[in-house]
Amino acid sequence: MPARFSPTAFGPQYTTCERDNLILTLTPNPSIDATLVLSEPLTSGDVHRASEVTQVAGGKGVNVTHAVHLAGEQSLALFPAHDSDSFLNLIHSAGLPSSAIPMDGTVRVNTTITEPDGTTTKVNGPGPALSDADSRAITSELTARALASDWVVLAGSLPRGVNTDWYCDLISAVRAAAPQARIAVDTSDAPMQAIGESLNSAAPDLIKPNGLELGQLTGTDGRELEDQAARGEYSGVVRAARDVVKQGIAEVLVTLGGAGAVLVTADGAWAATPPPATVKSTVGAGDAALAGYLLGRTAGKSPADSLAQSVAYGTAAASKQGTQFPRPEELDIAHTLVNSLA
């Protein structure tokens, strides 16, 4: 059964040879992101009344497409979903460019509870199990769309029913079908570790771990890396990221929350600290940071300038309630400081 292509994307005249600088995203385990906003601190076991409740189409790749779309640039979100899933209503109401690969299961619901001080508590649903036919259909759609893409983003957790090294298989498939496409991966836990074990055969061009995920990839204490960064000490993050670069990943973008982000390539390392902001919700901030970086690289900006844009995007997203993404005019790049690291 062919994938359903949303006409909100590029219209019925879309063909694979008409689009340049397309950022293609795959979210194999998408979610309906429900946000409950509290006007008081969350207390376990108590009854709370939410002051605001929202639902949006989410998942890491979908979020990247959302941010790129708001910037007026080309992106397309791929994800599995059946025709009557309410997830598609949220995709369409947001006007997001998308192509849904049919499946029998229902898109999961991820719930975030936000407190007045910006603290967020997340409860993520398990999501459906993909069949072998589902995974083959996703691979086929991804490789076909990759032919017209500058970047292919593989993002988020893997659904049940696929192996933990499925991202490695997808990287190899995209390399074979669309060698011009650069590949970015944003994942964690077993899928991230599987990538680390397959770098000799399936290395992406870019990964975007946080400190904990970088620790998973390199066998280091990720929490200690984040604690050091919070104190303004980035040497541990840089060492770990350089180990990854030496194994074949060209660009390692490490997001570090309030400490900003670190970028390491074969040519250098940079740290960016965020502009002043009031954090309201961190949900989607890392996805916004990845979108900002890819927008910069696609536009031909230097790694350092792309890093500044990345941190500005992540900070602006964290300043919004729930899962929301900024437009370019909301960024504070002028107060996002970038320093070269030895």
Q: State the Cα torsion 222-224-225-231 to the nearest 10°.
A: 150
Is 287 in the active site?
A: yes
Q: State the Cα torsion 298-299-301-305 to the nearest 10°.
A: -90
Cα–Cα distance measured from residue 216 to residue 84, given in angstroms and rounded to the nearest whole number: 38
What count of other Cβ atoms lies within 10 Å of the Cβ of residue 340?
9
Residue 72's SS3 state is: coil
Catalytic residue among 33, 134, 150, 287: 287
Across 123-140, b (16+ Cβ under 10 Å) vs e yields: eeeebbebeeebbebbbe
Q: Taking a C-beta distance cutoff of 8 angstroms, is the pair 117, 95 a contact? A: no
* Neighbouring-strand partners of residue 154: 26, 185
Structure tokens at 264: 């390491």
- DSSP secondary structure string, 82-138? -TT-HHHHHHHHTT--EEEEP-SS--EEEEEEE-TTS-EEEEE---PBPPHHHHHHH
Q: Taking a C-beta distance cutoff of 8 angstroms, is the pair 33, 122 a contact? A: no
Q: Which residues contact 55 (CB under 8 A, 6 or more apart)?
A: 32, 33, 34, 35, 90
Q: What does the angle CA 286 – CA 106 – CA 34 come to, to the nearest 5 degrees?
A: 45
What count of other Cβ atoms lies within 10 Å of the Cβ of residue 218?
19
Helix-strand-coil percent breakdown of the chain, rounded to 5? 35, 25, 40
The number of CA neighbours under 13 Å toward the Cβ of 168 is: 16
Catalytic residues: 287
